[in-house]
Structure 1
């Protein structure tokens, strides 16, 4: 059987490589083809992702590497959503283009919720599907029902054990059992990415950034906060790091670029008498952490922050998760579970430089985080997890009114689901009072005439 891997970058390919190296994807099939999709907004302005040294370090596991950006140009890979009647024709064309003939094919993806991965799973209409998830989304539900015929073909969910003791829930409603990809295998593949990045950055590593504090940028405007709020959150990170004594701070912009934010951070660093080093080379934040070994890394809840903590054991802190959770729409947004996990289990940095311990300690994962995420999951997808209603009702009833309840649950959502009572109506004004107000208003209007 041939295998098609759909990768958005070096970290995803490192997880594929680890799954291959540990035999999670079976014996070597007919051919392994890596389909690389640079999904950043300005992909055409950056060096081609398949040609970068940090990515190419992993190519020995594959027989061929294909750029989906080049294949689909001028269409962006995330916009590739062909009509249903076009898909049989596309399968025939792609099979011919990639020399697959009529041989069976397996599709291996990071996620099935967005193009181009979902599109390829649809186009190869009878291909078994494997999901390799390296983010916290593995602990939450699929946001929307998968296209007809795709969910029933998912055979495996491979994932990193990012929160030991926390059971994955992704694709559980499709009957897919999760399997862990060994951390040491992923670490080995990541070291290859790091070595490739060192070649890419030869002679260009920023001076003075070694052991600096690191801000991992994250684009928040698609999640609810405005651009101004996104900037404010990152500026608070900088102030907090400087307040705790970090005079040199490195900033890794989000993959989609944060040029204006970088300028605002540089101006604020100057005002605070600190040095800001902007790490804008096209290298994953995890690689920057491995190369620079920062004293601490801080972010809202970007996937890189979690992997840095898990893989490199760099101390991490979060800031801004509460504000994102308050504004995150719709409630069943796929980012809700990652934001909740980070908010509940990571220390919080304040803009005064204080570190606030997390609400849930590592030894409380099973007793406190598991029931919290189960309740949030039910509120996100009540129709797909009806068996969780009773436990969710019990959990919500036991929560005292206040910040904890408001942070993770929306009162209107709880009322709609019948898990909370609506507030009593406001008392009506006495009829006599309303009548007197109306009479006075009428007299005033008469005088004005």
Structure 2
């Protein structure tokens, strides 16, 4: 059988290498690496197979195909040949020829994500392929975010994922009931060792590592909010590991000048905060230096560090979650898991909340989050967890309510008990019965409304 592995990132390529090491996926001559370069200006940025650090992994494949060259001048993000057209038939023949697939030859297509435009095009164009979705990040724990045609879904045999949340089964593609298989972190880390380490800075003793993200580019935060989040992460690192250097590893896609400006402020104030190069995978840094703490918002690096036994803190995840639109955004589950399973600190200050350690509660939180995101797609799973949710004591139920609104929960769980009124709510209702207090409240509300109109 021919195996075609679609890859767009170094992290994904390392995941594929770990899968090949773990499972039986043929001999090297049976494997094709189909590379996509998905950065905006891909002409100026090397594709993953062109980077020297990943050269040792290319020996795992008998053939390497660069999709960008095949579809030029189109970009993978916009490449979507219309089904049953001459263009789609030509694209299909071109792909099969490039991958060396003979007519009637059995083949399997491995895609990083079933959601992406290019991946969706590939599963259509390889119309006779069995499909495996390999997942290397946290979004696989969330539900499928787009409608998958039955002609495609019925060909999906399995989801193979890095075991970032042990004991928890992903929700992606549950509607098609594929087999779920995980590959362990230790195999993935062995692959990282093979592709080389991030050059560590000269430092003795433990350090804190701040892993930046690019949430402004994803339109999850404004540029100002993104900078405030990075400042807060560095503040937490200096507070939780006092007197030790803080190494800031920006996301490769983040604006370099914005990260450097935030770091410069801390340096000017006398803190030992160092900005690292963005080359290589950050996980290799975790084994190259003595890491005492890893801080991020909801980066996958929090979970790889956590699995390696390092202390982790998620900063500002709850604030990003509150502003996340649309509700079905595929980052929602990643943010929930980051806030739930790591020590967590609010964006605007406050005390550190310890990580959740009850596996049964983690399972309920992920289930209710997934069902609230895609109740129509996951209709067959609605009601399965009702008894467990209703049996939760108030403080455990409050953990679910932290991530799923009561209104959404009531749509999912039949006969959910009415919530006990809060003390603050009782005080407000009783105060409203006092004419003098009610008059002050009404006056204040009118003043706020008038001010809002005046500043428009």
TM-score (norm 1): 0.82
Aligned match of 1:100: 101
Task: Give the C-alpha shift of residue 15 in structure 1.
Answer: 1.8
CA 1:313–1:8: 2 relative to 1, 3 Å: farther
Deviation larger for 144-153 or 43-52: 43-52
Unaligned 5+ segments in structure 1 are 428-449
Q: 1:58 to 1:213 in 2, by over 3 A?
A: same
Deviation at 1:392, TM superposition (A): 5.7
Q: How far apart are residue 349 of structure 1 and its match?
A: 4.2
The residue aligned with 1:377 is: 370
Q: What RMSD in Å do the two structures reach over aligned CA positions?
A: 3.2
Q: 1:280 aligns with which of 277, 282, 295?
A: 277
Q: 1:300 aligns with which of 293, 297, 302?
A: 297
Distance 1:314 1:122 in 2: 42
2:19 match: 19
The aligned runs of 1:84-99 (5 Å cut-off) are: 84=83, 85=85, 86-99=87-100
Q: In structure 2, what is the equivalent of residue 325 of structure 1?
A: 321
d(CA) in 1 for partners of 2:410 and 2:183? 40
Matched position secondary structure for 1:129: strand
Q: Which residue of 2 aligns with 1:270?
A: 267
Matches within 5 A, 1:19-418: 19-25=19-25, 27-28=26-27, 31-84=30-83, 85=85, 86-102=87-103, 103-193=105-195, 195=196, 197=197, 205-208=200-203, 211-221=206-216, 222=218, 224-244=220-240, 245-310=242-307, 312-349=308-345, 356-361=352-357, 364-366=358-360, 368-390=361-383, 395=389, 404=399, 407-411=402-406, 413-414=408-409
d(CA) in 2 for partners of 1:100, 1:148: 24
Native 8 Å contact 1:162 1:306 kept in 2 = yes
Aligned-partner Cα distance in 2 for 1:249–1:132: 34
In structure 2, list runs of 5 or more residues that go unmatched.
422-428, 433-456
**In the alignment, is the contact (CA less than 8 A) between 1:239 and 1:352 conserved in 2?**
no
TM-score by length of 2: 0.81
Deviation of 1:184 after TM superposition, in Å, equals: 3.5
Q: Is the 8 A contact 2:215 2:221 kept in 1?
A: yes
Q: Which has the higher contact order (CA 8 A, sep 6+)?
A: 1
Q: Structure 2 CA distance, aligned partners of 1:283 and 1:386? A: 41
Describe the shift of the 1:48–1:89 C-alpha distance in structure 2 as closer, same or farther (beyond 3 A): closer
The one-character-per-residue Cα deviations of 1:30-52 (angstroms, maximum 9, x if unpaired) are: 52111222323344333442121
Q: Which string of whole-angstrom CA distances, capped at 9 and with x for unpartnered residues, describes residues 248-290 of structure 1? A: 2222222312324312322321243113322233212222333
CA contact (8 A) 1:133 1:159 kept: yes
Q: What displacement does 1:209 show? A: 8.7
- Partner Cα distance (1:415, 1:156) in 2: 32
Deviations 1:107-155 (A, max 9, x none): 1122111032222111111100111112222322111222452111111
Aligned partner of 2:2 in structure 1 is 2
Check 1:2–1:372 CA distance in 2 against 1; reply closer, same or farther (3 A cut). same
Q: After the TM superposition, which of the residue ranges 400-409 and 231-240 deviates more from structure 2?
A: 400-409
Distance change >3 Å, CA 323–CA 215, structure 1 → 2: same
Cα distance between partner residues in 2 of 1:176 and 1:147: 15
Range with bigger deviation, 41-50 or 161-170? 41-50
* Mapped partners of 1:387, 1:104: distance in 2: 32
Query: Residues of 2 paired with 1:302 and 1:295: CA distance?
Result: 17
Q: How many correspondences in the alignment?
A: 415
Q: Which moved more, 1:384-393 or 1:270-279?
A: 384-393
**SS in structure 2 at match of 1:149:** helix
Measure the CA separation in 2 of the matches of 1:279 and 1:209. Answer: 16
Q: Contact (CA 8 Å) 1:2, 1:106: kept in 2 or not?
A: yes
Out of 134-143 and 117-126, give the one that drifted further: 134-143
